[in-house]
Chains A and B, each alone.
Chain A
Amino acid sequence: MLKFILKRLGISVIILIFATFIIYVLECSLPTSYVERTARELATKPGSTKSAQQWIDELNAQYGMDKGIIPGYITWVGNSIRGNFGDSWNWTVPVTEEFNSTVWYSFVLGLIAFILEIIIAIPLGVAAARKQYSVTDYTVTVISLIGISMPTFFVATLLKLIFSVHLGWFELSGMQGRNYAALSDFGKLMDLANHMVLPVITLVLVSMGSLMRYTRTNMLEVLNADYIRTARAKGLPEGKVIGRHAFRNTLIPLVTVLGSSLPGLFAGALITETLFAIRGIGYASYHSMVNGDIPFTMFYLAFASILTLLGNLVADILYAVVDPRVRVN
């Protein structure tokens, strides 16, 4: 098992190098350029003695963007390995500091949504499979198809319209109420929780549909298996047949899917966070990308690549944990 993991890690490093290189090339070819924009701003300022082109050249030299793409990438890799990710151009703080101040909001938001998604989707999927073609099944199918089909921005807007505009239960966006500073510590927490309700619902609604369908499909397949008939022939009560024999087998594909999405909790929810103006990592990376903030975007996307690779590794390891047939000696 250790050998297998080490081998996978080795492959991951190679993939990571290529992934970050592609990201770097794309970053440098973006139509938006932080340097150019800043240079033009500086050139139009009263008292500026240099032309825009002069400013661009000067800033490029300052930011290390005058070396060309490949030497620039090598410099970036060299610095990154030493743990130096540079300063964010857009947020004007070190990249890691900005990351640290935003990622935990995303993580908490993602984790709550993830747990709710599992709690809601898996039992519903199992219930739908147990009573195939029944009212329960059709209801679950319709709900999950609605969830899958509706885009995030539409769900978010709909929720805002109903719960903030019409009912006024929650605020439209943001993370803090206007009297946040005056609240006690517990009040602050409750205020934050109140602002997280709609984003969490959005995330759950959008993501639970596919998990529900996936659970249902897998459960149906397992329920038709011969060993389920064997379990019934043993005289096991139906609850045990489903809960023990069938569910353990349904778990195999589910765990791999869930396991691979676990590291993704740190990647943030770009659209949802942006729509609800939550200062999470998704929101920060969105604004960095729009403003051409290469250091921060590079860091964020490299981090996301690592998470994806890690997710695949976690999925493979979990697969071996739940399925004795794929355990490697």
Chain B
Amino acid sequence: MAENENVKKTSKKDSSYISGKESKKISKFNRKLTKKLEKQRADSKVDPSVYRTNMRDKNNIVEFDNVCSYFFTDIGTVKAVDGISFDVPKCSTVGIVGESGCGKSVTSLSLMQLLQRPQGQTVGGEIRFNVGDQGAYDAYNIVKTPTEMMQKIRGKRMSMIFQEPMTSLNPVFRIGDQVDEVISLHNPDMSKEDIKARTLQMLELVGIANKEGVYSMYPHELSGGMRQRIMIAIALACSPELIIADEPTTALDVTIQAQILDLLKELKDKINSSIMLITHDLGVVANMADYVVVMYAGRVIEKGTAKEIFSNPCHPYTIGLMKSKPVVGKKVEALYNIPGSVPNPVNMPDYCYFRDRCESCVERCYDHKEGKSRAEGYGQYPPEIKISDTHVVSCYRYYEEGQVLGYPHPVNVEEL
């Protein structure tokens, strides 16, 4: 009887249909919860010990530690980012790859605290951002940092380049004003002339030939590539320690892509900053990144140095990705594609998210075979398994040979 009910419940859950009553219940719960979370955020202003913390490793600029960013929608809680952990070392480029909707952008927006609130909330984990030694603490926990403090970090210590250069600049202000704005905001002592000089210097740095002319132009007078250069100029104007590039070349054509990426690489070395490069283009990652993080359905499934990921991909998903990219000089009938699709983000399964699409499942992936139980570690979401000093993968195929680091901890929204 109980089993019967269970089946009924799951079949109801699987369908995308939601009754008005259920929807109302969800909305009510969401409102209550987001209100509470907003209040907590407002209260954290008072006490710095709430949001100041220490880095695990001083050589990292950012450490993501079991970060959970959820969206409270009317059809349920979407766990866009659910317990991801990775580090961005100083002066290096970390590429985050994954398909559309896997949580790459949400990761970066969580780091900037730019999630669409109140629906979007980072509900758990720590994002430690290194600000150097300042008394007892050397880092901010971005998840708990109040907005006022964030405004001092954004644009100055970390900045972001967005994927849509055509719409990311304000159409009613001149280019010069928009670059000036960020410089004057973070350097209140600078005189107007100095600010303008700095802006012109930045425009020159990003390769704009007619800098005086562009200074007094409006965004609509520039091409997409030039606008992206302006965005880079804005992002780099205050020499931030971390640049988040959220698919910076997706909207641009291939020749401009190469130019923009070279520019980013060059400027990064010039101002000694790190880049968190978000993309779904494996070619870009191979070209740019020192470390690669592969994400799937809101979780990190594999991370390691670029060399490890490209020469020895371990997770079946990463292997599938590598197989599905065209290689120059290699003749194939049709490119490989990974079968199936991503699970429904509202109702993620409690086993490996990739199991239903995976072609190389092992015994441990299932808990209903041969009387194996969850308690013995069968059929759960796979833990992070360390297979070399820098290479970590979440797949049971390496359970025996690697060192188990730990499981991701999703947040139970009912308990918040």
Contact = CB atoms under 8 A, between A and B. Distances in A.
A323 B172 contact: yes
A31 interface: no
B35 to A, nearest CB: 10
A226 to B, nearest CB: 4
- Taking each of A227, A232, A233, A245, which has the highest tally of chain B beta carbons within 10 Å of its own beta carbon? A233
For A226, A237, A322, the residue with the greatest tally of chain B CB atoms inside 10 Å of its CB is A226
B155 A234 contact: yes
Contacts, number: 72
A248 interface: yes
Interface in A214-254: 225-227, 229-238, 245, 248-249, 252
A234 B185 contact: yes
Contacts of B162: 226, 229-230, 233
B156 interface: yes
A325 B152 contact: no
A46 interface: no
Contact of A324 (B164, B172, B185, B186): B172
B228 interface: no
B182 interface: yes
Of the listed residues B114, B150, B168, the one surrounded by the most CB atoms of chain A closer than 10 A to its CB is B168
A83 B405 CA distance: 93
A226 B160 CA distance: 12
A233 B159 contact: yes
**Interface centre among B151, B162, B169, B172, by most A CB within 10 Å?**
B172
Contact of B167 (A225, A233, A235): A225
A299 B152 CA distance: 62
Contact of A248 (B148, B172, B182): B172
B114 A226 contact: no
B112 interface: yes
A248 B178 CA distance: 14
B229 interface: no
A325 B169 contact: no
Contacts of A237: 148, 151
Given A230-B231, A234-B185, A236-B181, A322 B154 contact: no
Contacts of A227: 167-171
Nearest to A131: B118
A245 to B, nearest CB: 5
Given A235-B156, A248-B173, A323-B171, A229 B151 contact: no
Contacts of B170: 227, 230-231, 245, 248-249
Question: How many B residues touch the partner, as a band?
Answer: 20 to 34
B107 to A, nearest CB: 15
Given A226-B162, A226-B164, A234 B172 contact: no
Given A235-B152, A237-B151, A230 B171 contact: no
B129 to A, nearest CB: 14
B147 interface: yes
Nearest to A249: B172
A191 B256 CA distance: 71
A238 B147 contact: yes
B234 interface: yes
Nearest to A324: B218
Contacts of A233: 112, 114, 154-155, 159-160, 162
A235 B114 contact: no
A324 B220 CA distance: 8
A238 B156 CA distance: 16
Contacts of A238: 147
B153 interface: yes
Contact of B234 (A225, A230, A325): A230
Nearest to B166: A226
A322 B156 CA distance: 30
A275 to B, nearest CB: 42
21 contacts: A226-B168, A227-B167, A227-B171, A229-B168, A230-B168, A230-B231, A230-B234, A233-B154, A234-B155, A234-B182, A234-B185, A235-B151, A235-B156, A235-B182, A236-B155, A236-B181, A245-B170, A248-B172, A323-B172, A324-B218, A325-B218
Q: Which 8 A-B pairs have the closest CB atoms?
A: A235-B155, A235-B154, A226-B167, A227-B170, A234-B155, A324-B218, A234-B182, A233-B160
Interface of B: 112, 114, 147-148, 150-156, 159-160, 162, 164, 167-173, 181-182, 185-186, 218, 220, 231, 234
Given A248-B172, A249-B172, 18 more contacts: A227-B167, A227-B169, A230-B162, A232-B154, A233-B114, A233-B160, A233-B162, A234-B154, A234-B155, A234-B181, A235-B153, A235-B186, A237-B148, A238-B147, A249-B171, A323-B171, A324-B171, A325-B220
